[in-house]
């Protein structure tokens, strides 16, 4: 009971002192300032010893990873470009090579064609000559046959006219006429 009264008296005194504002009760300032300093020191130590280096390291690590990834992507992009250029170059080379081969083949074929044509011409000429010879022979044969026929005919005619044919005369006459 006594202590209660004491508390009440004390409380009333405090209330009067602070005029309704506990903030202005200067008897508690020492306590608050002491615990504030303790708190700030503890927070500062926690942050500087553990939290800030850790978070800073994580952020730096992440930034580094992102920068590396971007650099790697850049590099891959460059490589892709190079590969594309190489592909284009290879394609152009292949085209050029193909057209060169086409040209060469065309020239070769022309050459062969010319050779074959020449050969065929030659063969044709040879055949023609041969044929001409054969024709000449045939022609000669025909002339001979015509002479024989003419002689026979002449002999027959002479016989039919009632003369005795004389072979050498008829032959001479026929040869003479044929020559004429």
Partner 1 sequence: MATEAAHGAEEGSSLVFHPMDQFIVKPLFGGSEVHWYTITNVTLWMGISVLAILALMVLATSGAKRIPSRGQSIAEMAYGFVYKMIEDVTGKDAVKFFPYVFTLFMFIVFSNLLGLLPMSFTPTSHFAVTIVLALAVFLTVTIVGFVLHGAQFLGLFWVSSAPAAVRPLLALIEVISYFVRPVSHSIRLAGNMMAGHAVIKVFAGFAAIAAVSPVAIIAIVGMYGLEILVGFIQAYVFTILTCVYLKDALHPAH
Token reading at 38: 């303790």
Q: Does 57 bind partner 1 (CB under 8 A)?
A: yes
Q: Does 72 bind partner 1 (CB under 8 A)?
A: no
Q: Does 56 bind partner 1 (CB under 8 A)?
A: yes
How far is residue 102's CA from residue 98's CA, in Å, rounded to a whole number? 6
Report, in Å, the least distance between residue 99 CB and partner 1.
55
The mark string for 13-52 relative to partner 1 (x by CB under 8 A, - otherwise) is: -------xxxxxx-xxxxxxxxxxxxxx-xxx-xxx-xxx
Report, in Å, the least distance between residue 74 CB and partner 1.
21
Q: Does 110 bind partner 1 (CB under 8 A)?
A: no
How far is residue 63's CA from residue 41's CA, in Å, rounded to a whole number? 31
Q: Does 60 bind partner 1 (CB under 8 A)?
A: no
> How many Cα atoms sit within 13 Å of 169 on the Cβ side?
7
Token reading at 151: 């002689």
Residue closer to partner 1 (CB basis): 14 or 139: 14
Which of 55, 113, 115, 138 forms a contact with partner 1 (CB under 8 A)? 55
Residue closer to partner 1 (CB basis): 27 or 153: 27
Query: Do 174 and 151 meet the contact criterion of CB atoms below 8 Å apart?
Result: yes
Who contacts 58 (Cβ-Cβ below 8 Å, separation ≥6)?
A: none
Report, in Å, the least distance between residue 5 CB and partner 1.
12
Among 163, 137, 140, 158, residue whose Cα is nearest residue 171: 158
Among 173, 141, 143, 177, residue whose Cα is nearest residue 155: 173
Token reading at 50: 């553990």
Residues in contact with partner 1 by the rule CB under 8 A: 6-7, 10-11, 20-25, 27-40, 42-44, 46-48, 50-52, 54-59, 61-62, 65
């Amino acid at each position: 009971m006594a202590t209660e009264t004491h508390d009440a008296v004390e409380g009333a005194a405090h209330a009067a002192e602070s005029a309704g504002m506990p903030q202005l009760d200067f008897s508690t300032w020492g306590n608050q300032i002491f615990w504030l300093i303790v708190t700030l020191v503890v927070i500062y130590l926690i942050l500087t010893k553990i939290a800030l280096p850790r978070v800073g390291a994580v952020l730096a690590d992440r930034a580094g990873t992102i920068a590396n990834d971007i650099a790697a992507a850049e590099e891959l992009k460059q490589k892709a470009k190079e590969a594309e250029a190489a592909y284009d170059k290879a394609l152009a080379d292949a085209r050029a090579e193909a057209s060169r081969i086409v040209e060469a083949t065309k020239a070769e074929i022309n050459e062969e064609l010319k050779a074959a044509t020449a050969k065929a011409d030659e063969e044709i000429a040879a055949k023609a000559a041969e044929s001409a010879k054969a024709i000449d022979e045939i022609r000669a044969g025909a002339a001979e046959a015509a002479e024989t026929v003419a002689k026979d005919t002449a002999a027959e005619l002479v016989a039919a006219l009632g003369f005795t044919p004389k072979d050498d005369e008829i032959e001479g006459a026929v040869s003479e006429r044929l020559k004429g």
